Structure 1
């Protein structure tokens, strides 16, 4: 049978790039979206409606060998839901396991689940990176829902024999990135002075191109079956170094003010922005050496090139 994959969330930041890259490698691609939206013209697209425990997937899964599950209720800083965990579970747990069960029944060989480093936790101690062997410690409803989905997938794999690959990326950046990373990019491009010159933390990131390349590796690599991987660029950056890298990519000077971290934290607390500053100043490092040792995977794109591609806007 010709290799054919299903990409859920095909219109998303990662999904769009995933579809294009898979087609580039000669893989047959089906793309699933919640509503009818524009997706890469090179793929066969399906509108499946809301993704939850009752979504029908049988017609989409016909002749599919591998599912790449990207669709999710994503993390937001200020959630308007009265019960965020229930809302996250409906999509990220029930929706994921419903698709996985139908995939197993349809004869899909492998289910690749893009989870999140938030399953491990929010921050690391200086010099201490997360690994796949660490006990999960999700700190919010999003991370908890991803953790529960991972647990359910492992049990389903044991019960039904379908191979499962779990990937936990940190912050993903690239062309079309949104949220806080996009805000930081625009501030750098506009030459705004940023009070981040004294932030000497260390954070792991992954370029969109690197994440997609790793997912492609996990489609067929025999050693990926039933494994969990953390993935990153392999070069951690402080927030100040990230700003300098973005400025270099944009061809503008980096305007960094050496404001003490304690002053940033105090000001942010007064403004109710403590979470934002905590993420800008805290450490979150991952050890992605398992991807190299088990799969022989090396990030094809450097941090510098990844930042340059992000700035092509």
Structure 2
């Protein structure tokens, strides 16, 4: 089954991943994309429709007219300082109830394929160095965001069994690229400013995915017959230590990272004293994913390298800083 030339609805179309997805679909001329957004944005990446908040009560009828495939990127993402009285309930309201309401309405409207951008957090938070997460692993989410994404995945496959609508799950690790925010943007600022960082002796191994690689895989999953009702992991195909990542960000900036070789055990102890265990785990721990299933089933390879992905992220960061 192919969706070439058909209409694709992209949710979260003015978000980090959604806007890149829209740019790709607009440029490839193989699909007719329509973006769904919570509220209008000054610079949308293509034709958009305002649908409001993502919840069980969202009415998708207008957005789903004549749609063949949905790419669902909209979500309540990880919140560093969550002030909700019941954070898990809030994640479930958006990521589970909102997603499944969309899926049921999509199936009722005749949508044939639903591509869900999930998270590697469904697999878990970390791996031992040299070990990898696999798409067929038993899910073991630890944080609330990961739990909500797993419940959404389970619900989507139930909708698929009930209705026949095909579902494709894509679980990315940390995504970086043009317009990235959060911890990755902070890291680029540190390197740009020449801030000394105590991360010169971190020998972990982490999988990342460049935004353009993620978008390329999701685009493949819209069309590929073998993608139906499968779970795919995605990465750049090259794992990095935190130390190596910082050095290569510095190289992309033409500004060497200033790294001090502090033993990771000392950093872990300091983080524990400051209540920053989770932040330390992301910097010091390993998280590796196996993309062999993605390669073998879909014949997919990451189209750009880590260094090219970093160059694009840095170029966008410098441009936005100078504007």
- Give me the TM-score of the superposition, normalised by structure 1: 0.98
How much has 1:81 moved relative to structure 2? 1.2
Contact kept in structure 2, 1:10 and 1:39, CA below 8 Å: no
Q: Which residue of 2 aligns with 1:55?
A: 58
Is 2:71 the counterpart of 1:68? yes
Q: Which residue of 1 aligns with 2:36?
A: 32
How much has 1:272 moved relative to structure 2? 2.1
Alpha-carbon distance between aligned partners in 2 of 1:283 and 1:78, rounded to the nearest angstrom: 24
Q: 2:132 aligns with which of 129, 144, 149?
A: 129
Q: Which residue of 1 aligns with 2:321?
A: none
Alpha-carbon distance between aligned partners in 2 of 1:226 and 1:18, rounded to the nearest angstrom: 21
Contact kept in structure 2, 1:39 and 1:45, CA below 8 Å: no
Q: Which residue of 2 aligns with 1:297?
A: 300
Alpha-carbon distance between aligned partners in 2 of 1:160 and 1:206, rounded to the nearest angstrom: 32
Q: Which runs of 5+ in 2 are unaligned?
A: 318-323
Q: Which residue of 1 aligns with 2:229?
A: 226
Alpha-carbon distance between aligned partners in 1 of 2:313 and 2:170, rounded to the nearest angstrom: 22
RMSD over equivalenced CA pairs, Å: 1.0
Secondary structure of 2:110's aligned partner: coil
Greater Cα offset, 177-186 or 30-39: 30-39
Secondary structure of 2:62's aligned partner: helix
Q: Which residue of 1 aligns with 2:320?
A: none
Secondary structure of 1:118's aligned partner: helix
Q: Which residue of 2 aligns with 1:79?
A: 82
Deviations 1:272-294 (A, max 9, x none): 22211111000000001111000
How much has 1:245 moved relative to structure 2? 0.7
- Give me the TM-score of the superposition, normalised by structure 2: 0.95
Q: Which residue of 2 aligns with 1:274?
A: 277
Contact kept in structure 2, 1:14 and 1:70, CA below 8 Å: yes
Secondary structure of 1:38's aligned partner: coil
Q: Which residue of 2 aligns with 1:241?
A: 244
Alpha-carbon distance between aligned partners in 2 of 1:39 and 1:93, rounded to the nearest angstrom: 28
How much has 1:96 moved relative to structure 2? 0.2
How much has 1:39 moved relative to structure 2? 4.4
